[in-house]
Amino acid sequence: MEIKKTAMAGTLESSDLQIMLSQGTKGIEFDLTSDVAKQFGDDIKATIKAVLDAFGIDNVLVKVVDKGALTPVIKARAITAAQRALDIADQPQWEVL
């Protein structure tokens, strides 16, 4: 599935993460900026990918600026961005959550 519109969630505060989803054509593509990319880069991508998979999003550009967020925060920001991008923020897919 492709997203309907570009959407963003999160802030640039420390321990938060900002994620932007925009139209993509070549599967799930990541652009990750993080001070902990060496230690947790794969982990951050896997966490976000799992959320996107649950929403059925498979063509998307994912721009992430991570400020050392813990996994639950990453997941929450990804879910919010996905709902906004699919224009379903008013009718959340509870089964995905």
Partner 1 sequence: MKNNVNREIPDQILKDHNYEGFKTVDFGNPEIQRVAPKVTAQVGPSKVVESIKKVVSETVKDGMTISFHHHFREGDFVFNMVMREIIDAGYKDLTLAPSSLTNVMNDIVVEAIQKGTVTNITSSGMRGSLGDAVSHGALKNPVIFRSHGGRARAIEEGAVKIDVAFLGVPNADEMGNANGMNGDAAFGSLGYALIDAQFANKVVLVTDSLMPYPNTPASIKQTQVDYVVKVDKVGDPDKIGSGATRFTKDPKELQIAEMVNDVITHSPYFKDGFSFQTGSGGAALAVTRFLRNSMIENQIKASFALGGITKPTVDLLNEGLVGRIMDVQDFDKGAASSMKNDANQQEIDASWYADPANKGAMVDKLDVSILSALEIDTKFNVNVMSGSDGVIRGAIGGHQDAATSKLTIISAPLVRGRIATIVPDVTTVITPGDSIDVLVTEVGIAINPKRQDLVDTLSKVPGLPIFTIEELQQKAEKLVGKAQPLQFTDRVVALAEYRDGTLIDVIKEVKD
| Shortest Cβ 15–partner 1 spacing (Å) | 6
Cα separation, 79 vs 93, in Å, equals 10
Residue 6: CB partners within 8 Å, gap ≥ 6? 20, 21, 22, 23, 85
| Shortest Cβ 50–partner 1 spacing (Å) | 14
Q: Quick check: 12 binds partner 1 (CB under 8 A)?
A: no
Residue 90 Ramachandran class (φ > 0 left, ψ -120 to 50 alpha, else beta) = alpha
Q: Quick check: 71 binds partner 1 (CB under 8 A)?
A: yes
Q: Quick check: 19 binds partner 1 (CB under 8 A)?
A: no
Residue pointed to by tokens 């923020």: 89
- 28-47 residues in contact with partner 1 (CB under 8 A) are 35-36, 38-43
Which positions touch partner 1 (CB under 8 A)? 14-15, 35-36, 38-43, 67-71
